[in-house]
Amino acid sequence: MIEVSGLTKQFDVRTVLNCLNLSIDTGEIFGLLGPNGAGKTTTIRLLTMLTKPSGGIIRINGLSFEKNEQQIKSLLGIVPQHLNLDIELTARENLELHGRLHGIPTAERNRRITELLEFVELTDRSGDMVQTFSGGMKRRLMIARALLHRPKVLFLDEPTVGLDPQVRRRIWELVRHLASEGMTVLLTTHYIEEAQALCQRVAIIDKGHLIALDTPQTLCQGLGEYVVDWEENEQRHNKFFPNRVDAASYSASLTTTVIIRRSNLEDVFVELTGRKVVER
Amino acid sequence: MISHIWTVVWRDWMVLKRRLGRYILSRMVSPIFYLVAFGWGLGRNMTMTHGSYLDFIVPGIIALNSMNISFNAVGTPVNMSRLYHKTLEEYLLAPISAISYVIGKILSGILRGIISSAVIVVLATIFGAKLSLNGWFIVTLILNCAIFAALGLVAALYMNSHEEMSNFNIYILTPMSFLCATFFLPNQLPGLLHWIIEILPLTQASYALRQTSTSGGFPETALGIMIIYFVGLVWIGTRKMKQLQD
């Protein structure tokens, strides 16, 4: 569904994305993982035509960006990181504006708006001005808006940032539901558990470079499925093992308190970059 | 394309419709002051070539008011939408052409400018001004609104802060409000200044509105110059919209 080859973006002399190659299948939930400033949002902006690439090729559904701008735009649904709803309109009017911009006929548009407001549980607030909504409600409305024209690809840029755990899990459920219906989902996140819980494959980006790409399980197994954490001389240490038995026998040899746990994408990131995902 | 233009207008109409009463009331304030100060106060004992000073300044007040309203109806919201609310992205991400957005916003600016001008016409009549409304008067008024709505859009797309937008108002619109044949004829100004004032669109709008409201004639030169401004600004605005992809 999405083919990216040699995608590069430079702002003056600063390279924010360097020769990215990706191929994302139809119906896949694909995650871009990395710290702030890694190049995740730039990648989304490039794939949604909000930013022009300095180099490389992008194809969506077999269509190249150069000649099929309007056609490609109608295939994409985008939920940006920032809240960009029109605060001078009601929830329903925001959806109506989007539907009109995408040329959805009136009867279908009205039916679809009603369905989606129900889907994101905002039916009873449909006539309220968006500025009275909480952050979670706005995020849900943005998802409804992105889905209104039945896009084939949904881009979610940090979809759960700043939301409480309950709302975050509701959005995860929505994303899984959409992918099960055949929609391709590309999401960026710096929440490790989000990438691990949702994504079938993950690309880890750091300083504009792709440093790993695989399923979360394979990336973790590459390090070792189990990890032993311990502290010594006020320094934290860890060691990876292919199974729990090996991890347990190693911990027995240590004289300090240890924690045995499963490895995760944070470990992968730290091993590959020497830094944590949430660090600058 | 027409449905996309209409969508842009529809959005602005939904916002305006909700506050139409308040909008009309607020549009009455500055014209009343202009009419009282320059019509009743300063102009009570003044006469111009074709009648009273009140009759002379009403077309000027309409020109400057429609300029301010159309400019700010488009400029401020689009600038806020681009820099702060990021709602401009909704249009950039949608499968619509840049010119559809530009034309839609200009039509919204015209709508607000016309409502505001209608308020002034009613007030001026109450104040005793003699004003002949005809087809060319309305064409000129619409064109004036269109020029300054387009200028508002261009400014909003180029200015990178709210402060820069305010400065545009202070350094460009405010001098035009007073100098462009609104309250007096600029032919008594020094040579170079007079020449500069003559080629500004508001001067041409003031001339054309005054001519059409008194003699009902066809202001071909003024309309010609105004059309050049309008086409140029639409071209610049559309080009800038396309360049918003950084």
pLDDT at A191: 81
Domain A1-75+152-215, CATH: 3.40.50.300
pLDDT average, residue stretch B197-211: 92
CB-based contact, A156 to chain B, within 8 Å: no
Q: What is the DSSP letter of A90?
A: B
Position B231, amino acid: V
Strand-pairing partners, residue A154, are A77, A185
pLDDT at B74: 95
Asked whether residue B46 carries a pLDDT value surpassing 80, the answer given is no
B191 token code pair: 């040579």
Q: In chain B, pLDDT over 90 holds for what percent of residues?
A: 55
pTM attached to this predicted model: 0.84
Report yes or no: A197 and A168 within 8 Å, Cβ to Cβ.
Answer: no
Strand A63-64 relative to strand A55-60, pairing: antiparallel
Asked whether residue A279 carries a pLDDT value surpassing 50, the answer given is no
Residues B95, A103: C-beta atoms closer than 8 Å: yes
Instruction: State pLDDT tens for residues B74-120.
Output: 999 999 999 989 999 999 999 999 999 999 999 999 999 999 999 88
Residues B93, A73: C-beta atoms closer than 8 Å: yes
pLDDT at A280: 39
Give the start-to-end residue ranges of the domains of chain A. Answer: 1-75+152-215, 87-150, 219-273
pLDDT at A149: 92
Q: In chain B, pLDDT over 70 holds for what percent of residues?
A: 97
pLDDT average, residue stretch B231-236: 97
For CA atoms B27, B30, B31, B32, the dihedral sign is positive
Asked whether residue B218 carries a pLDDT value surpassing 90, the answer given is no
List chain A residues with CB under 8 Å of B90.
84, 86, 97-98, 101
Comparing C-alpha atoms, which of B34, B212, B222 is closest to residue B116?
B34
A66 token code pair: 């150069």
pLDDT average, residue stretch B33-56: 77
Instruction: State pLDDT tens for residues A232-244.
Output: 887 888 888 888 8
| Interface mutation vs chain B, best among A88, A92, A106, A155, most B CBs within 10 Å | A88
B contact set with A (CB within 8 A): 3-4, 6-7, 10-11, 14-15, 85-87, 89-97, 245-246
Alpha helices by DSSP H, chain A: 40-47, 69-73, 91-101, 106-119, 135-147, 165-180, 192-198, 216-223, 244-252, 265-273
Instruction: State pLDDT tens for residues A126-163.
Output: 999 999 998 888 988 998 999 899 899 999 988 887 77
Residues A103, B3: C-beta atoms closer than 8 Å: yes
Comparing C-alpha atoms, which of A272, A180, A259 is closest to residue A223?
A272
Considering A95-109, A227-241, B213-227, the range whose residues carry the highest mean pLDDT is: A95-109
CB-based contact, A49 to chain B, within 8 Å: yes
Q: Please indicate whether residue B48 or residue B11 has the higher confidence score (pLDDT).
A: B11
pLDDT average, residue stretch A169-191: 86
pLDDT at A275: 65
Q: Which residues of A91-118 are buried (b: 16+ CB within 10 A; e: fewer)?
A: bbbbbbbbbbbbebeeeebeebbeebbe
* Measured CA distances, A237 to A35, A95, A265, B232 (Å): 22, 51, 17, 66
Residues A73, B15: C-beta atoms closer than 8 Å: no
**ipTM of the shown complex:** 0.85
Q: Please indicate whether residue B43 or residue A221 has the higher confidence score (pLDDT).
A: A221
Report yes or no: B222 and B204 within 8 Å, Cβ to Cβ.
Answer: yes
Residues B86, A73: C-beta atoms closer than 8 Å: no
Residues A51, B7: C-beta atoms closer than 8 Å: no
Q: What angle do CA A253, A267, A26 make, to 5 degrees?
A: 140
Mean of per-residue pLDDT scores for chain A: 87
Q: Which residues contact A158 (CB under 8 A, 6 or more apart)?
A: A40, A41, A81, A188, A189, A190
Strands (E), chain B: 47-48, 51-52
Secondary structure tally for chain A: helices H, strands E: 10, 13
